[in-house]
Amino acid sequence: MSRFTSAIKQTSEAYPGHGLKPDFNRLPAKTFTRPDGTVTMGQTVVSHCTIVGFVAKELIARFPEKLRSLLFPEGSSLVAAAHDIGKISPFFYEKLRRVINDPKSLLEAAPYVSDPSKEREWSGHAGVSQITTRDLGIPLSIPEILGQHHGFAPQVGKYKANDELFGKSLWNDERIRLLDHLQKTLGETWPEIESGSTARLLAGLTTVSDWIGSGEFFEDPSTPWQDLVPKALDSAGFITPIFRKGMTFEDVFGFPPRQPQSALIDCTSGPGVYVLEAPMGLGKTEAALFAAYKVAESGQATGIYFALPTQLTSNKIYDRFNEFLESILAPETPHGAMLLHGAMLLHGAMLLHGGAHLIEKTDMGEEGRPGGSWFDQSKRGLLAPFAVGTLDQALMAAMNVKHGFVRAYGLAGKVVILDEIHTYDAYTGTIIDSAIKLLCDLNCTVIILSATLTKGRRSELIGESSKSEAYPLITARPKGGAVTEIDIPEGESKKVAIQSGKTIEDCFDEAIGRAEQGQQILWIENSVAEAQEVYRSIAARVDSLDIDCGLLHSRFIPQERQVIENKWVNLYGKSSEGERGKRGRIFVGTQVLEQSIDIDSDFLVSRFCPTDMLLQRLGRLWRHSDTKRPESAQCEAWLMSPVSEIAQEDPIKHFGTSAFVYSPYVLCRSLEVFESITSVLLPGNIRSLIEDTYRKRDENPVMSQLLHELEHGNRFRKGRIALGQLARITLAEAGNTLPESKAQTRYSDMEASDVLVLKSLDVDAVAGETRVILLDGSHMTVPHKKHQISKKAWRALASDLSRQVVKIPVHQVPKAVSREKVMKTGLQHCFFIGTEDQEESLLRIAIHQNDHSLRGLYSNNANEKYLLGYRPGIGYNAIKKE
């Protein structure tokens, strides 16, 4: 008889009708899989809860002293420790007992539990933790935190702690005994939680502590754990950065600050909201980064999260952030974590972004391992001290989405830089406003960068009225302080010639003609399909000419996208002087080229778009005054646009796809502004152009109808009123928690799905492995069972496979495959494919054919309505079938 079964005795006090008596000191919380695949008992409930409590203590201790007491009330780590008291329940016990196959650890059965899967009805042990503490009268926020530590709120209203399902008082008394034990061991009592933001923060602390406390450092129950907590935090990337003191702007960047940069740095004094409105190319990024350094150096921030509009735009700024960290981090910064870009190591601070390799040498416990829902690089970056990531991940901190509170915890106390915030988009705007409020509650320093805000939108962002119409402008609202507006001298303006009403054929001829003269052309379309078609046409026309052509959009696999971006953004960047003059080039892309990328073109061709975005695109023209250009080059942009009056009558016909990407009303208002001008002064005209586009006015009948559709929607899209309501629903704390795959920070009628694009996939059930060939011809082997390779090997394998994934609108992806079929490939050990209650896998798989078409995993007909393909240099494409 094992050490455990000897402690589970049959007595007269046993569960009614049976003889199993629980003991909180001996009940299992985990299983442990040995290298040979044998499943035995892991940590007990009491040891796991205690480990998690001390992990929480250490996590809190690693926050700067100035922030610690402001964020975490006394007793916070007790909440984390109590998360798994619900594992003291007969259903959970029986579930573990049935998977243990070690003869030395076989447990006595709980015969009154016929089907352990029934515990899904009350969300398993997390639900039992919530019910138990709720019935003890512990303040309401704490039971809810315990209940949602797996990412969502259980529906447990009809259950009681002493219900027969949960073992009546026999098992409930053990849960209460465990709570008493944890309070004594940690030396804490229940905290006073005075706000929803604090509750959200503690929910995140609890979950992250659980993940780390479930990690590889604590898996073997025979290994003493008390001295492993700091090492586990270091391994997970929770290091405390040490900053060089007294650095100047010039020390960090190598040049003195401009006046707008100095003004932002001087007024950013700590937690609060700071908005810098300034033109493209003025150095907003450097200003925000140095302001962030000053706040962090003073002990008022835990790190920096730089949020960009899209995953693609974050790739190049990574290099700039990397250089910035090299300058500001002291050599004695601990080496427990990694800064990754390829194989690069730096000091020990971890910098993550969505397009980088996944962290291969850190362990985040169950959810943060390959196959877990939090292994995704774009999510884990929020928990690192430094990260470049997407705006979406930051916004989800405020949304009722699975693990939204983990994001809130990850951002708490950080300097959060929100780059490229615009006036357009009511849905995202509603979420941004709520996220900023939450971040302020969590003592964040929020720095907002924009070239194109209206006065009204600025007021919404800072949460108070803003009056100035100056440009450039800094608006500061320190936490607890008054709003300050700082006018900045405009400086010298750049004149950009504008030609509207151009056809695509006009632009083909002009772009090719200028490229033949050695100019560097930038061509921006509003959709991936149009960009691909334009690129094909240009490439065919210049085939015999000494002109380079390139294409960049969001539907390349990361492996190929990185190569394209490195080549073309560097060619059009500051360091391109040697290569730039060798030949003319035409670089085609989508909206990803208008934001957060330092590219400098001689001539711009653009599909017409709203004023906000068009100004961003114009900012990519003659960006640097010292760039050497052909004598024929003129600072000019050609716009492919219809005639305003005609476009108003039928926007869908005349704007085409753009009328589905952007609001027809806003397109028409923007066209009215630009159609009548032949040049623009940047930054001199930015404020007036934006205000003219969005200013409220009396409309003619045609425009009134378009405005009505903008507000109330039509058969093609939802209106602003409905979008605002939808956004508020995603922010509501009540109701069902949204899965991350359904949570949208930018409203679209089309959901998107991850597609794994492979050259071949061969499942060998006899050998217990799946052989995979990647698009570049590389071979990989995916074992079917986890114990066959090490955790480190799984992380490396998942990292490589993740670079073959592209996100595509769900109507243009291969057919869904059942979760059961995907699990036969072993890919569930690398990707999160959904939970057990989902029939279809979240991951779609496409197999690349010799003719560049794509088929599904088990079907040649990948999609009923579209012919799917992937071609190097073109990316993923979907052509509607006849």
Tell me the per-residue pLDDT of 170-195, one tens digit each, with 9 for 90 and over: 999 999 999 999 999 999 999 999 99
Domains identified in the chain and CATH numbers: 31-235 (1.10.3210.30), 249-487 (3.40.50.300), 494-553+567-695 (3.40.50.300), 752-880 (no CATH)
Burial of 229 (0-12, 13-18, 19+ CB in 10 A): buried
Q: Pull the structure tokens for residue 336.
A: 């427990």
pLDDT digits (tens, 9 = 90+) for 685-713: 999 999 999 999 999 999 899 888 888 87
pLDDT of 737 reads 59
Asked if residue 54 has pLDDT above 60, the reply is yes
Count of residues for the chain? Answer: 882
Mean predicted confidence (pLDDT) in 8-35: 66
* 117 band by pLDDT with thresholds 50, 70 and 90: confident
Mean predicted confidence (pLDDT) in 61-80: 95
- If one compares 16 and 84, the residue with the highest pLDDT of the two is 84
Mean predicted confidence (pLDDT) in 247-269: 94
The pTM of the whole model exceeds 0.95: no
Q: Which has the minimum average pLDDT: 73-87, 111-125, 404-418, 746-760?
A: 746-760
Q: Pull the structure tokens for residue 333.
A: 């910064």
**Widest CA span in the chain:** 98
Q: Pull the structure tokens for residue 257.
A: 């600050």
pLDDT digits (tens, 9 = 90+) for 331-380: 887 643 333 333 233 333 344 443 344 344 455 555 555 655 555 555 66
Mean predicted confidence (pLDDT) in 546-571: 91
With residue 210 as reference, give the H or E element that holds it. helix 196-213
pLDDT of 335 reads 46
- If one compares 597 and 772, the residue with the highest pLDDT of the two is 772
Q: Quick check: 743 and 396 in contact, CB under 8 A?
A: yes
Asked if residue 14 has pLDDT above 60, the reply is no
Mean predicted confidence (pLDDT) in 820-831: 90
pLDDT of 225 reads 94
Please name which of 779, 850, 841 lies closest in space to residue 813, comparing C-alpha atoms.
841
Q: Quick check: 684 and 490 in contact, CB under 8 A?
A: yes
pLDDT of 840 reads 85
- If one compares 490 and 358, the residue with the highest pLDDT of the two is 490
* Parallel/antiparallel/unpaired status of strands 854-856 and 844-848: antiparallel
**End-to-end alpha carbon distance in the chain:** 70
Asked if residue 198 has pLDDT above 80, the reply is yes
- The DSSP output letter for 713 is B
Q: What percent of the chain shows pLDDT beyond 70?
A: 87
pLDDT of 352 reads 44
CA distance 338 to 347: 8
Q: Quick check: 28 and 45 in contact, CB under 8 A?
A: yes
Asked if residue 62 has pLDDT above 90, the reply is yes
What are the backbone angles phi and psi of residue 494, rounded to the nearest 5°? Answer: -105, 135
Tokens 């330092």, residue? 598
- The DSSP output letter for 758 is E
Rg (CA), the chain: 29
User: What is each CA distance from 559 to 113, 733, 776, 804, 805, in whole angstroms?
Assistant: 49, 38, 9, 7, 9
Burial of 773 (0-12, 13-18, 19+ CB in 10 A): middle
* 746 band by pLDDT with thresholds 50, 70 and 90: very low
Q: Quick check: 643 and 608 in contact, CB under 8 A?
A: no
Query: What string of DSSP letters covers 271-314?
Result: SEEEEEE--TTS-HHHHHHHHHHHHHHTT--S-EEEEESSTTTH
CA distance 628 to 577: 7
pLDDT digits (tens, 9 = 90+) for 290-299: 999 999 999 9
* 809 band by pLDDT with thresholds 50, 70 and 90: confident
CA distance 83 to 129: 6
Beta bridge partners, 875, equal 871
pLDDT of 367 reads 58
Of 105-119, 405-419, 594-608, give the range with the top mean pLDDT. 405-419
pLDDT of 781 reads 96
